[in-house]
Chain A
Amino acid sequence: METTENVLHQHSEIQGGSWEGASSPFNVSYGKLMMWYFLLSDAFTFAGFLIAYGALRFSSPSWPVPDFVFSTAPFGIHNAPLIFVTIMSFLLIISSVTMVRAVQEGHRENKRGVIFWMLLTIVGGAGFLGCQAWEWTNLIGKEHMSVTTNPFGSHVSSGVYLDGKGNPSSETFKAGASYLMHKSEEGGHDGAHAEGHHALTKGDHPNAFVDESGFIHRKFKITSGPKTGKVETEEFGPKAFGALFFFITGFHGFHVLSGVAFLLIIMINVASGVYASRKNGYEMVEKIGLYWHFVDLVWVFVFLVFYLF
């Protein structure tokens, strides 16, 4: 940043003002300015998605509670709400910090420093992608969530689950409690939310109804509100939840992936001496740094909207 500015500063001092040419708007290079404006447009894209999420969530009668849906982690950890996604946030924050160090080394024309810190940034980004891949695999493979199916729901009134004979059991819940509908095929999977249920055949049972796809809709009796006394079955949660989650985190993950790809390419270019010969303080590293910080910034808001709210 300092190197190009010194050059431009001299030019604008020769003539009065910027209309004489030989100076750059805002005293930044074309590439950096255009990167900022690309990021601005991308911010609007993500804002559109997050606003759509908000509008659909507010309009839904019930919505799966994030700290119930996202309470698993690798190595069999469950009942750890939001812990895994917090680790993912830290990965991106650390990779942003290493990126800042890479840019600083670039300003000092320190080639080896740039490569070192960029390598750490790439490792952080790839780690984030790995974590996101695990999250998706867990949601799709173990918990059977998809773009059209959402087995996470929440109760709108208090009630008590029915036992094997169709009588109220001791398992009660309050309005707003979340549930996950399991599938009946698997025996012996240690899915995080599985609580040792046996394989039920399709059709009606005293305590549950198993649909064509194998989802177990548990039956319960309502104990509050206008429908007290009625027996109902668990229904799928709002479809929008799955669609929005995969679409938005997928879009963000795609940005992380392309960011890692670009970081790799630019790091290889740094190693080959391309930027050293330009003598502009490794401005290319700074530009991809802007993109990488943007990716982190979007994650701050995706994290806020999907997981914290």
Chain B
Amino acid sequence: MSHKTYEESKKAVVKGLFLLGFVTLIEVFISLFGKGHIIPGIKDIAWIAYPIGLIIAFLSIYKAYFIIYEFMHMAYEVKGLALTVLLPTSLLIWALIAFFQEGTSWKARREFVKEKNAKTIELSKKDEGFINDNLLFRL
């Protein structure tokens, strides 16, 4: 555990302020850039949203790490304390991924149902028994 002097601690606080402020500004800039406000037309690139999203998510996680470890002093606590708090929180990462995927799946299924409902299928007049049912099922 590093015992900072009073002067060093005050300097560290100012550094923290500028760090957080700077990272926030970068995040906002990147987000606006991805939405096409800085260079028009960026928004039309279909795949741009994903890397932009990942970058700003990573920057936010870095801000969270800094706030927890420096401002909330976790870096100077016993490791066990940090683990009991942070390990359960890390379980949320999977929850996030799972539910975002779930939401995407709901949308895909709803569109599928809508698409199928809109189709009209012509029935053959001849009764061909279960073979026809099989075709209907696959349509």
Contact = CB atoms under 8 A, between A and B. Distances in A.
Contact of B95 (A27, A36, A47, A65): A47
Interface in B50-76: 53, 56-57, 60, 63-64, 67-68, 71-73, 76
A199 interface: no
Question: B25, B76, B80, B81 — which one has the most chain A CB atoms within 10 A of its CB?
Answer: B81
Contact of A61 (B10, B60, B63, B107): B107
B77 interface: yes
Q: Main secondary structure on chain A at its contact with chain B?
A: helix
A57 interface: yes
Contact of B107 (A40, A43, A60, A82): A60
Interface of B: 3, 6, 9-10, 13-14, 16-17, 20-21, 24-25, 27-28, 31-32, 35, 37, 43, 53, 56-57, 60, 63-64, 67-68, 71-73, 76-78, 80-81, 84-85, 88-89, 92, 95-96, 99-100, 102-104, 106-107, 110-111
A54 B96 contact: yes
B89 A40 contact: yes
Contacts of B63: 300
Q: Main secondary structure on chain B at its contact with chain A?
A: helix
Contacts, number: 138
B17 A94 contact: yes
Interface of A: 1-2, 25-28, 33, 36-37, 39-40, 43-44, 47, 51-52, 54-61, 65, 67, 81-82, 86, 89-90, 93-94, 96-97, 99-101, 104, 108, 176, 286, 289-290, 293-294, 296-297, 300-301, 303-304, 307-309
A223 to B, nearest CB: 16
B37 A81 contact: yes
